[in-house]
Amino acid sequence: MKRICVDMDEVMADTLSEHLRRYNAFYDEEIAATDLSGKALWDVVSVDRQETLRQILHAEDFFEDLPVMPGSQSVLRELSQRFEIFVATQAMSVPTSFGAKYRWLLRHFPFLPPTHFVFCGDKSILKADFLIDDMPRNLMRFSGTGVLYSAPHNMHAQGFDRVISWVEVLTYFAHH
């Protein structure tokens, strides 16, 4: 059985909308995802507000109630019938996220065994056939086939198979 590793943030969980919601509420602004084409939120926020962005992301409850990416649950359930599915999340960059991410995964993806949740830093350690991720740097160091999940910050990235939705993920893996 082939193995697929799936990133959590911006692939299974909509972290960007929550980050924007909290930032906009704090500063009474209206930055939208459409304002970020080819850029990360960190790239459009002034330097004097970078610490606030970090504090929002590191809040104990940030990862607790993130919206689920549309279609991810049904597609991963279907793919789990033909592939071994692992969730690989770079939790080391936000150590306060471990508990919240674990609870989020249990709540929204109960069909995936917790033994298949990988909390890591450098994803080059993953041993799988495929990695679905929104960060090109993670795919470049991955030894299997990288599949780039579209997000505002990676719109200009090239050199990877790209999917823009979970419907496209299902179609992509119908051929593998």
Residue 90, token pair as written in the block? 């770079």
pLDDT category, 22, cuts 50, 70, 90? very high
Q: How far apart are CA 105 and CA 16, in angstroms?
A: 17
What percent of the chain has a predicted confidence (pLDDT) above 90?
A: 97
As annotated, the active-site residues are 7, 9
12, 85 contact by CB (below 8 A): no
What are the structural domains of the chain? 3-14+67-174 (3.40.50.1000), 15-58 (no CATH)
Q: What is the pLDDT of residues 84-140, one digit of tens each?
A: 999 999 999 999 999 999 999 999 999 999 999 999 999 999 999 999 999 999 999
Neighbours of 150 (CB within 10 A): 16
Please list, in sequence order, all residues whose beta carbon lies within 8 angstroms of the beta carbon of residue 13, skipping any fewer than 6 positions away: 63, 66, 67, 68, 69, 104
Q: How far apart are CA 155 and CA 162, in angstroms?
A: 10
